[in-house]
Amino acid sequence: MVKQMAILEGIRILEFGWAVAGPLTTSWAGGYGAEVIKVETRTRPDIIRSFTPFKNDKADLNNSHFFARENATKKSITLNLKHPQGREVALSLVARCDVVLESYTSGAMTKLGLAYQDLVQVKPDLIMISSCMYGQSGDLRSMPGYGMPLTALCGLTHLTGWPDREPCGPYGAYTDYLVPRLNLLAIAAALDHRRRTGRGVYMDAAQLEAGAQFVAPALLQAALTGEAPTRMGNQDPQAAPHGVYPCAGRDRWVAITVFSDGQWEGLVRAMGSPAWALEQELAQAQGRLARAEELDQRIAQWTRPQEARTVMELLQGMKVPAGVANDGRDLGRDPQIVFDGHYARLEHPVMGQVDYAGHSLTFSAAPQRVERSPCLGEHTREICLGLLGMDEEEYARLEQAGALE
Amino acid sequence: MQQEQSTATSFGTDTGFLSGYRVLELGGQESLFAGKLLADMGAEVIKVEPPGGDPARRLGPMAPEVEPSEAGLLWQAMNTGKLGVTLDLEQATGREVFLRLAATADVVIESLPPGRLGDMGLGYDDLRRARPELVMVSITPFGDQGPYRDYAAGDLVIWALSGLLYICGDSDRPPVRISLPQSWLHAGADAAAGAAMALFHRGRTGQGQRVVVSALKAMERVAYSSHILWDAKGKVMRRQGSGLPIQPLGTTTPIVWPCADGFVVFYIFGGQMGMLSNPALTAWMDEEGLAPPSMKNMDWPNLDLGHTPQEEADRGLVEPVAAFFARHTQRELWEQGVKRRVMVYPVNDAHGVLADAHLAQRGFWVRLAHPAFAQELTLPGPFVKTEEGLCRVGGPAPTLGQHNDRVFAALGLDPQRLAALGGEGVV
């Protein structure tokens, strides 16, 4: 008869988010049971609401698949924070929240009269995290930015691509997808700290500094040896073969990586033990590394006529790390992703059926729950009349005054 | 890099977010970052290694002229603030000691192949008998259930299956990953968040639990565009190198541009987003006589790249901007760009990151003295700043077995017994 308590049940998070890194943080927290309220405005809607792809190519603030994916499991209230009464509503929300996350440019919350020192007046043990590009101090703090350049600034773009070419960088706004993980850790740790000490906290989370954590070995190497590592395609300095090989069909690939002599033996067996692969020199890592390029060509000859999944299954049967390079279509039918129920297909009032991706954690004490993303201001009335206890008259007055835009 | 951040050199300070918690970390490279992050947050993290050392100690890059067991720089970067003990879990006495250690722990983070600990009698149910409120976090490639459960994996294979690999790289070459393993960092950060959430949950319910991290699912989130393009339009997203095509015409403009001494990132946004940079860039180019009429007369708020033919975009925008960038160094473009609010950014290599003036102003870097290194180690500081210093980078990575005496003695193993275990190769 023990009631299952969601991991973050009873925790209310108020989000002043923008684009991806902030909103994705709270979306994941929502999946683990927090009640998330996203504060938006019609005067300047969250930019991600206008990002493609749109359902049926129809550009509409409630029709972006991109917004939907990163904003599951939260409510949306519209407030004009530049309106004095809009700000008042925001403050009464803060008073009822445990955590405030904001991801505006540094200084924006202060200009709105919503800095941490303003908010603790109404919520003394508030946990607040500012997740902006460069942090709250330093010359760059108010410089605009977005995920792609941030990926370049922290050294990751330089490390992606082919040694004989300009860097191509990882796809898109890469840092936007590492920052929320660290934000979520910070919020969870701060909640437990508050539970144990009764104290709230203000956290300055610079996305650039989060990104630097993901290149730490390269930074240490450069500082220590004077040598900055560079991009090397798909090679690994200690493992060969280690690459992505062509398969049958248009633009189909399989990744194969050999980290041990045993895995090499498995690969050789899978290829039918051709004479070239039985050379004694190749039985050890050093010999394979010395002839990595040749091995890549040989293996590509072997994979080219085969289906990527056939190669993967055959190699996995031999305990060799191998995986299909899944494309957008494959993901929805990948056996493990299907088994995990990673995509929840939910009905959205404007978009119809939409796939919502889950997060990576499975807690034994309570399941993750993914709810569809909100339309702009969908919960304004519900929150005002419910959580904030307004009567109809007061609500109408605020609406008329433009505070709820 | 004038202002240095002061670092905690002693363990067990009571000033971190997660101070007072004990975490055991067991496994190879997959779990290093999770343990390091929890140590940053103030937990006491004990890295448990086999007597010969975690193989992750020997992963590259390696520092020259340092003894091999300490020379691994991934190791040094990802083990700060931890205590280190050695314990042979292949031996019954080693497992016995581990159970006693687990009885003192709040969290066990492990990244052994799914089921391996259970086979050794050290699975969640075994450990729970020793410590009923234990939180156990398992970092796995594909989860602990399902068709891929026992599949072999590494960083590149996870990139592949997650969908991320397929959309990265130049279109005329195979898909390509970042040349520095990332999967375990994403999964590790999630694992640390999972541990903190489970501790919070335990604090409110008295209930421990098991948390499983799937690196596949973690990385699928990074491949964000791939699945939604299929879901929205039934189209397969393809890799575009360093250009960005805009529909409906698919007009592609660069993201990465050559400059006089390297590369910079700049994107010619259309519409309101472009108003942030494009007029200021045009004015800057004009000062050097390099702004063509196509840019000077542009109605920037109404620039719609998706409806601009490729040739027109190339001639009117891309070529003049490329010519301008080619005349300037990374540093000139970045410094002037900041002044003029033109969103042009350097493609930094590691030296560029280390030299970043803003990070120095924020006192970001930490320097640690390690007994095996002649020089200090320079590492990223805390990922989140608080006035109270509740997150901070601890001391250098433990040397092999550095804290055996301290940790095992606290378990009540007397020095004689400890010496005997050493003789048997258990610790």
pLDDT confidence of residue A46: 95
pLDDT given at position B218: 98
Averaged confidence pLDDT in chain A:
97
pLDDT band at B315 (very low <50, low <70, confident <90, very high): very high
CB contact under 8 A, B347 and A157: yes
pLDDT for the residue numbered B11? 36
Residue B380 has pLDDT above 70, yes or no: yes
- Look at residue B354 and tell me if it is in a domain: no
Mean pLDDT of chain B: 94
- The residue of chain B with its CA nearest to that of A226 is B351
Instruction: Tell me the ipTM for this assembly.
Output: 0.98
Q: Which of B348, B383, B407 is the last residue of a domain?
A: B348
| Among the partner residues B201, B227, B345, nearest to A332 by beta-carbon distance | B227
Task: Please report the pLDDT score of residue B256 as a whole number.
Answer: 96
Residue with tokens 């193993």: B413
- Whether residue B140 lies inside any domain: the answer is yes
Q: Are residues B137 and B185 in the same domain?
A: yes
pLDDT at A3 over 80: no
Question: Predicted confidence band at A395 (pLDDT cuts at 50, 70, 90)?
Answer: very high
A30 falls in which pLDDT band (50, 70, 90)?
A: very high
**Active-site residue (options: A57, A98, A125, A176):** A176
How many Cβ atoms from other residues are within 10 Å of residue B15's Cβ? 11
Asked if residue B99 and residue B204 are part of one domain, the reply reads: yes
pLDDT tens string A291-307? 999 999 999 999 999 99
B405 and B306 co-located in one domain: no
Query: Is B127 a domain residue?
Result: yes
Average pLDDT over residues A218-229: 97
- Residue in A94, A106, A101 with CA at minimum distance from that of residue A128: A101
B319 has a chain A CB within 8 A of its CB: no
B288 burial (CB, 10 Å; 0-12 / 13-18 / 19+) is: exposed
Of A162, A178, A242, the CB nearest to B156: A242
Lowest mean pLDDT among A183-192, A380-389, B241-250, B401-410: B241-250
Indicate which of A259, A326, A353 best probes the interface with B, i.e. most B CBs within 10 Å of its own CB. Answer: A326
Residues B161 and B49 in one domain: yes
A397, A399, A403, A405: CA torsion to nearest 10? 180
In this predicted structure, the answer to whether residue B10 has a pLDDT above a threshold of 50 is no
Are B366 and B275 in a shared domain?
Answer: no
Q: Is the pLDDT of residue B96 over 70?
A: yes
User: In chain A, what are the domain boundaries?
Assistant: 12-214+341-401, 242-331
Is the predicted pLDDT of residue B270 greater than 60, yes or no? yes
| Within-domain flag for B88 | yes
- Please identify, among B300, B315, B348, the residue that sits at the C-terminal boundary of a domain: B348
Report the pLDDT value the prediction gives residue B262, as an integer from 0 to 100: 97
CATH number, domain at B29?
A: 3.40.50.10540
DSSP state letter for B44 = E
What is the structure's pLDDT at B12? 39
pLDDT-wise least confident of A135-139, A365-369, B14-18, B72-76: B14-18
Total count of domains within chain B: 2
Residue pair B218/B159 in contact (Cβ under 8 Å)? The answer is: no
Residues in A touching B269 (Cβ below 8 Å): none
What is the domain extent for residue B272? 242-348
pLDDT of residue B258 exceeding 70: yes
Residue B184 domain-assigned?
yes
Do B184 and B308 fall within a single domain? Answer: no
How confident is the model over A238-289, as pLDDT tens digits? 999 999 999 999 999 999 999 999 999 999 999 999 999 999 999 999 999 9
User: Does B265 reside within a domain?
Assistant: yes
A12-214+341-401 CATH pick, 3.40.50.10540, 3.30.360.10, 3.30.70.580, 1.20.140.10: 3.40.50.10540
* A92 Cα to chain B: minimum distance (Å): 25
Q: pLDDT tens for residues B97-113?
A: 999 999 999 999 999 99
Specify if B269 maps to a domain. yes
Read off the pLDDT band of A2 (50, 70, 90).
Answer: low
Q: What is the rounded end-to-end Cα distance, in angstroms, of chain B?
A: 41
- The H or E element spanning position B48 is strand B44-49
pLDDT in tens, A38-48: 999 999 999 99
Closest CA to B137 of B112, B155, B158: B112
Last residue of a domain, one of B298, B318, B348: B348
User: How far is CA B225 from its chain centroid?
Assistant: 21
CATH of domain A242-331: 3.30.1540.10
